[in-house]
A and B are shown apart, each in its own frame.
Chain A
Amino acid sequence: MSAAGLRPHRGIDPRGPRFGAAVTAALLASVVVLGPGPVGLTLLAVVVASFALGAVGGVTRTWQGRLYGVVLRPRLRPPTDLEAPEPPRFAQLVGLVITGVGLAVALLGAPVAATVAAAIALVAAFLNAVFGLCLGCEMYLLGRRLRPAR
């Protein structure tokens, strides 16, 4: 078992996902504060759609990622380090599942699910933005260990 395949050649600016997480955290905080009314649920749907873009195409394909690439990155110094795009993409998938289920359950008649899901995703996005701690990435091995080995 070698580490071959762990390091793809392409890399992304690690500040991109953190900026995206900050934008997402602000949206999710608004969802929690506004409550599961029409405005709150619409904002949550925007977040779900953004996570879907990130889960399919990677964080650089989300509108937050594009915003970073077009507006912020040209004004910053070049990154000292590039990071692998797979971990943040996996985290986007985790975010998509949590917020997607919350939105679906809210629309099916239990509005509190929107607030709960937004709060859980808010914690993850906040930790990523402020502390650089990627909860979705950390959960991968834990999740695999809880399931029986294939």
Chain B
Amino acid sequence: MDTPQRLLAVLALLGLVSALAVLVRSRRGRLVRGRGPVTAAGLVTAVGAPLPPTGAVVQLSTRWCSACPGAARVWRRAATDAGADFHEIDVTERVDLARDLDVLSTPTTLLVAADGSIRGRVVGAPDARRAREAVAVLTTQQPGPTRRAA
């Protein structure tokens, strides 16, 4: 390939990557229900505290996760406002737990009801509004119809 062709190839590559990044980002931080296991034996143990009646927001983080600290701040506020607990679990060395929970990237945040069942999950860092909407699945009495990730 000569230089103009290489230049075009680079521009095409970056265009494609941008389109994919916009797509991925639009799906980040949104509540997804009905994906991943509903329970995991190690989860409540890993939280290390009794779950209150309103349930808990549990964020899985790793030491290498750049978006995790900001996400934790957003979740803590949303959980506190709704009367739920917030917990953050470091899964850097807990690959077993990440596997059991079907977590591929961090932050992944689980909405855990008082009985330890997972009502939904949010992959990526949410903004304050999306976090509030997600926490609302803990306070609604009846779990809504399960919607698969589109």
Chain A residues at the B interface, C-beta cutoff of 8 Å:
1-7, 14, 29, 32-35, 81, 83-84, 86-88, 90-91, 119, 122-123, 126-127, 130-131, 133-134, 136-138, 140-142, 144-145, 149
Name the prevailing secondary structure of the A interface residues. helix
**Contacting pair A122 B21 (CB below 8 A):** no
Query: Considering the complex, which residues of chain B in the window 78-109 have a beta carbon less than 8 Å from any beta carbon of chain A?
Result: 87-92, 94-99, 103-106
Residues in chain B within 8 A of chain A (CB atoms): 1, 3, 6-7, 9-10, 13-14, 17-18, 21-22, 24-25, 46, 48, 61-70, 87-92, 94-99, 103-106
Asked whether, in the complex, the Cβ of B3 is within 8 Å of the Cβ of A145, the reply is no
* A6 adjacent to B46 (CB under 8 Å): no
On whether the beta carbons of A134 and B13 are closer than 8 Å, the reply is no
Report A132 CB to chain B, min CB distance, Å: 8
User: What are 27 pairs between A and B in contact, CB < 8 Å?
Assistant: A1-B94, A2-B89, A3-B61, A3-B87, A3-B89, A4-B90, A6-B68, A6-B69, A6-B88, A33-B6, A33-B10, A34-B6, A83-B69, A87-B66, A91-B64, A122-B13, A130-B21, A131-B18, A131-B25, A134-B67, A137-B66, A140-B106, A141-B62, A141-B95, A141-B106, A142-B104, A145-B95
Chain B residues near A3 (CB-CB < 8 A): 61, 87-90
CB A47 to nearest CB in B, in angstroms, measures 15
